[in-house]
Amino acid sequence: MTGPSIETSGLGKQYGQLWALQDCSLQVPPGRVTALLGPNGAGKTTLLRLLVGLASPSAGSARVLGRAPDSSEEFLADIGYLAQDVPLYRRLSADDHIGLGAHLNKRWDAEGARDRLSRLHVPMDRPVATLSGGQRAQVALGLVLAKRPRLLLLDEPVAALDPLARREFLSALSEAVTDGGVSVILSSHLVHDLERVCDHVILMSASRVQLCADIDDVLASHRMLLGPRRPVDAVEPGLTVISATQTQRQTRLLVRTAGPVLDPSWEQDEVGLEDVILAYMGNEGAGIGAERTHRHLEVAP
Amino acid sequence: MNHLVWRLHRNQAYLAVAALAALTVILVITGITMADDYRNALANCAATQSCGDLGGILFRGDGAIMDLVDFTLFVPLLFGLFWGAPLLAKEFEDGTHNLAWTQGVSRWRWMRANIGWSLLAAAVWGAALAALVSWWRYPENALSSRFNAFDVQGIVPVAYALFAVALGIAVGSVIRRVLPSLAVTLAIFVAIRVAIGVYLRPHYMAPVTKVFPLLGNDTGPSGSWVLSQGLVSPTGKSLGPGIAFSQFPAACQAAPPPGGGKSFLGQCLASHGFRQTITYQPANRFWAFQGLEAAIFVVLAAALVGFAIWWVLGRDA
Amino acid sequence: MTSELLPQSVTFHLRSDSGVPAYLQLVQQVRQAVRMGVLEIGDQLPTVKEVVAELAINPNTVQKAYRELEHEGLVVGRQGVGTFVARRPNGPPPGTQVRLARGLHKWVQSARAEGMDDEAMEALLRETLRGTTAVEVA
């Protein structure tokens, strides 16, 4: 597949008077594992439901795998969706779910699903309500992978899991990605887990998209600058200030830059993904392209 | 899709079959006994001149079975509550619609399979129950009137069942929670059944009004549905049902002689020329009424199903 | 006590707070394994899938690490078979290593005698490494 796996243009969703998502225009290249990050209420679930076709847009449009999302069987066959709270039929067993999936899907890898789950020692014949949260998440992931979709959309799949279950889930997910041919987008309000598995990031805040880029590009293009106090406006052109902290003597900036920072009065450092995310999230309500938040820390002499 | 429907509702189906089987056994056993008693009584009543009174004599002690048959009045409602209301409401409440509607099956196909099988099951069970009860009531019908148990025999139970299930589905699709859907389905079902059965049904066709003698062999239309009764004075004036005792002839106002018994007033009035006027629906209109009421409920069911589909397909999941 | 037996030859570990990119950590760990003799020339490195399963990381990270090692000539990848160790990493012969170690030992002792503590020595070493690399590039 050559075109973007996900592409939206001015996408928006309104519930009553409230816009849960607005002005969302982004592109995700194919084959990426994308982290959809943002605080609760930022619009992540809304975006995923729009991409899957479970909700329809109030404004703008979306194209997933090159087509508008709908309820048709061709579209549904290519996507795998795992909703929040891991919905499963509580009284049915994992085996039952796999058996039913075979009847509901043209492409269905039942053996792979059973293999994967038995390797993880997940009980196959008990009602899933009796399994632990981590085991249920693995069953749900197994079902969604058995479809052999071209795009996986996972809504906070590890939110309620303990660290071990989280690690096992992400491990199973990255193994599936290794086999190739599948793009993934998974949402979370925690950065840490996803940094290792993901190579692309979409950051949402206050129902808008703040950032959409490959993680390597993000890390390469953002810097932490520390230097003697100066007005924020007086930085060299080509630097976009994402967040600024002023004290009596110093100015610390997190900037986005296209090339190297030449001003020698700055002490430069690389920034981790979490710090970049935090800096953008400080720009509530601004959206991509708007730059500054200023924090003035007055330190008593 | 059929596998999914079966697997999710398998236990409910087994339960329903077991319940129907148990009911069948009870009704078949008691029904055969009742039919035998009836035939014997018919054969012997001529000797004791009690043929006209059989209705008051037979089946006096069978209260429990009678109650059971009356209970079948609620079976259509049970279909609506257990098969109709949870169908969509439970999927929404549990969030499993997010799973079911992102497999390889479109929402329309999913609705079609679930609604189709529910309606079919309701129709089949309703028909089986109606046939059973109709057969069981043969002696009672002969002794009194089929109209007395209009709601549980014939074809209307099937229509009620379809309506109940359709109502449950429609309510569940809007409310999206099981318990509130049950409550609302119950309330609306009862309201509509009462409204139609009590207020609309007497008017399906214009009733017949005739004057009958107070005593004798032909004191009223047999097997019919009596809507109201009143007295007619010797001069032909129709007196309302709430006639005052003081308006009777003096002779009839006297206390009955010892041993005169229950028919003293009737015989006295009859001898003075009083008669009775009865407004009724004739027995031969039973099937027409069944057909009309069934049609009403089937049309309602169809409208509700259409609404549920339109509502679910046109909205966000 | 949890105990895991993995089918591959060596095991990796990532420190998420070290500031060193993940792929580079893998490169360093492979180099160290070969230096220590845990991996010998001709041994197979864990497959991408095995590493991914153990660490829950993006397969591209592993690919990048193995490509870097291949670029340095330390490993060679055989399509459809796996990645194999080709040669040892560059470094001084054992004798030179001992001589350099002795020299450093002497310097540390004299720095301590002048009142420098360990932290200052580490900072100085880091800056010197950075400074000398920049000079070489220039």
A244-256: pLDDT as tens digits = 888 888 888 899 9
Q: How many Å apart are CA C127 and CA B17, to the nearest integer? A: 84
A252-271: pLDDT as tens digits = 889 998 888 888 888 888 88
Q: What does the block give as tokens for B175?
A: 């409310």
- Under an 8 A CB cutoff, do A72 and B102 touch? no
- Under an 8 A CB cutoff, do C56 and A192 touch? no
ipTM of the predicted structure?
A: 0.86
Indicate the SS3 state at residue A126.
coil
Residue reference for tokens 């479970």: A54
* Of residues C14, C53, C60, nearest to A171 (C-beta): C53
C1-52: pLDDT as tens digits = 777 777 788 888 888 776 778 899 999 999 888 877 788 888 999 999 999 9
The pTM of the full predicted model, rounded to 2 decimals, is 0.82
List the single residue in C with minimal CA-CA distance to A220.
C21
- Under an 8 A CB cutoff, do C53 and A175 touch? yes
Angle in degrees, CA A18, A21, A27, rounded to 5: 170
C115-125: pLDDT as tens digits = 999 999 998 88
Burial (Cβ within 10 Å: 0-12, 13-18, ≥19) of residue B199: exposed
CB of A7 within 8 A of CB of A61?
no
Angle in degrees, CA B17, B20, B22, rounded to 5: 110
Residue reference for tokens 């709908």: A70
- Among B14-23, B58-67, C62-71, the range scoring the smallest mean pLDDT is B58-67
Q: How far is CA B221 from the centre of its chain?
A: 21
Per CB-CB distance under 8 Å, the chain A contacts of B3 are: 99-100, 103
Per CB-CB distance under 8 Å, the chain C contacts of A167 are: 56
- Residue A44 confidence (pLDDT) above 60: yes
Q: How many Å apart are CA C122 and CA C108, to the nearest integer? A: 11
Show which subunits contact C, needing at least 3 CB pairs below 8 angstroms: A
Q: What does the block give as tokens for B296?
A: 């009403």
CB of A209 within 8 A of CB of A42?
no
Q: How many Å apart are CA A202 and CA A43, to the nearest integer? A: 12
Angle in degrees, CA A26, A32, A35, rounded to 5: 70
Per CB-CB distance under 8 Å, the chain A contacts of C54 are: 171
- Residue B226 confidence (pLDDT) above 90: no
Show which subunits contact A, needing at least 3 CB pairs below 8 angstroms: B, C
Indicate the SS3 state at residue B222.
coil
Query: What is the band of B122 on the pLDDT scale with cuts at 50, 70, 90?
Result: very high
Q: How many Å apart are CA C103 and CA B157, to the nearest integer? A: 102
Please compute the mean of the pLDDT values over residues B302-315 and round it to a whole number.
Answer: 95
Per CB-CB distance under 8 Å, the chain C contacts of A197 are: 56-58
Q: How many Å apart are CA A62 and CA A48, to the nearest integer? A: 11
Decide which of B209 and C134 is more confident: B209
- Residue B53 confidence (pLDDT) above 80: no
Residue reference for tokens 């009690």: B50
Decide which of B61 and B114 is more confident: B114
